[in-house]
Each structure stands twice: as structure tokens, then as C-alpha cells.
Amino acid sequence: RYKCVCDPGWIGDYCSTEGNECKSNPCQNGGTCEDLLNGYRCTCRKGFKGERCTVDIDECLSKPCKNHALCHNIQGSYLCECRPGFTGGDCDSNIDDCLSNPCQNGASCVDGINSFSCICLPGFHGDKCQTDTNECLSEPCRNGGTCTHYVNSYTCKCQPGFEGTNCENNIDECTESSCFNGGTCVDGINSFTCQCPVGFTGPFCLMEINECDSHPCLNKGSCVDSPGTYRCIC
């Protein structure tokens, strides 16, 4: 009788059967075992290494997390803790803070990093353009005009004698027929005055002055009135 002492990798009474080293499941953490003559080889899953796939690879060493995110190594993988304003597995996507339509009253939204800014339409202000600007606060109406505020506008109710968007224009009350007999019209505020030529008087220069009323002729001479003058008949 005899007994065979087998070389490594062989089994059986006559050492005729190749041993299967993978039978004992030597590869850990989901690694795949490949039987070899007198041995085995492990093909490790992503995130593990080593002869038997027992070593957890620190994926954070390669700095996979973007935008200054914190990397946490976990078994077989990694986890990124994103900074505010970013999302995605590697924190590589900037969150669009404008998606919620935060800007009001027709304003345009500009996305930032964990922030947004609003470009307001004329007549509105505030961080979200939520406030209607009161144009009357700047006192645009002149010469005593009264300001009425509307959305993105205002109107001025002018005092008598003024006109224009802001009541800036004094209305010229003088016309061709304001003063008579060659009188000169002088515009005022909601009024006018007439500068009459010699011989006329009154608000509109309608009254002729009678120069004879002052009795200019002496020694019983007769006075004859003329426009702006007189003559004496002695």
C-alpha cells in the first residue's frame, strides 16, 4: 500500500484532481474569485483592493467632490456633502435659485451661488422688486402743483397759470387782443397787465385820457383834446 503526497494545487488519492481554491470564498466584499493552478485571483469591486479585496479604497484622496464640498469616505464608495447652492453626486451642479420665480412685478432674475438678484422694471425697487416706487417722494411737480402717484408713473395737477408734465411752464396769458390802442401786454402768473401808450389808461388801455380835464389853457382859452395831447384855442 502507498499514499500520494500531492503537489500544491492538486488533490485526490492519486493527485489527479485540481483543487478549487475559490471554493472557500476567499474574496471579500463582493470580489470575484478566479481559480488558478495552485492558487486563485480576486477581481475586486469598485472601492476595494488587496489580495482578497479586504482593503477599502479611500476615494476622497482623489478629491472627487467639486466646489469645495466635504468628502466622506464610506465602505466601497464616497459621499459628498455639498456647500449651500450646489447639488449632484459630486456637488458639480449649481442650484438655480431663480427656479422659484422669486422676483416680482416682471423683474428679471439673475442666478448666483446660493443666491439670486433681481433687475427691477422702472417704478419698482426692493431685493425682490416687491415695492412700488413712489415717484411723488422726489417732489417732481413745480410751482405748487399737486402730485398723484400711480404704478410706475405720476401726474401733476397744476396751479392756475402753469402747465407741462411737471407744471414747469408758465402759461402766457397775453394774446393779440389782450391790450388795445397799442398797449403792450406783460405776462404774469395766471394774469397779465397792459402798459398803455400816452393818452390811454385802464386795465386794457381802453380809456382815452382827456388832457383837457386839467384845464391846461389859460386866459379863458378853449381846450381841444386829442389822443395823447391837446391844443388851446385862444
Q: What is the pLDDT of residue 111?
A: 97
165 & 186 share domain: no
* Residue 71 belongs to some domain of the structure: yes
**Domains: count for the chain:** 4
181 & 233 share domain: yes
Q: Give me the mean pLDDT over the 187-206 stretch.
A: 93
For residue 38, name the pLDDT band (cuts at 50, 70, 90).
Answer: confident
Q: Whole-number mean pLDDT of the chain?
A: 91
* Residue 202 belongs to some domain of the structure: yes
* Residue 122 belongs to some domain of the structure: no
Among 145, 170, 195, residue at a domain's last position: 170
Best CA proximity match to 204, nearest among 213, 215, 212, 192: 192
CATH of the domain at 159: 2.10.25.10
Residue span of the structural domain in which 26 resides: 10-55
Residue 164 cell numbers, joined: 407741462
* Residue 2 belongs to some domain of the structure: no
46 & 65 share domain: no
% of the chain residues with pLDDT over 70: 100
- What pLDDT digit, counting tens, does each position of 70-114 carry? 999 998 889 999 999 999 999 999 999 999 999 999 999 999 999
88 & 141 share domain: no
152 & 183 share domain: no
Q: Is the pTM of this model over 0.75?
A: no
228 & 193 share domain: yes
* Residue 85 belongs to some domain of the structure: yes
> Quick one: DSSP state of residue 83?
P
Among 170, 193, 215, residue at a domain's last position: 170
- What pLDDT digit, counting tens, does each position of 120-161 carry? 999 999 999 999 999 999 999 999 999 999 988 999 999 999
182 & 227 share domain: yes
Is a pLDDT exceeding 90 seen at residue 6?
Answer: no
* Residue 104 belongs to some domain of the structure: no
For strand 70-74 and strand 55-56, is the pairing parallel, antiparallel, or unpaired? Answer: unpaired
Phi and psi dihedrals of 80, rounded to 5? Answer: -100, 130
Extended beta strands in 44-161, E state: 48-49, 55-56, 70-74, 77-81, 86-87, 93-94, 108-111, 116-119, 124-125, 131-132, 146-150, 153-157
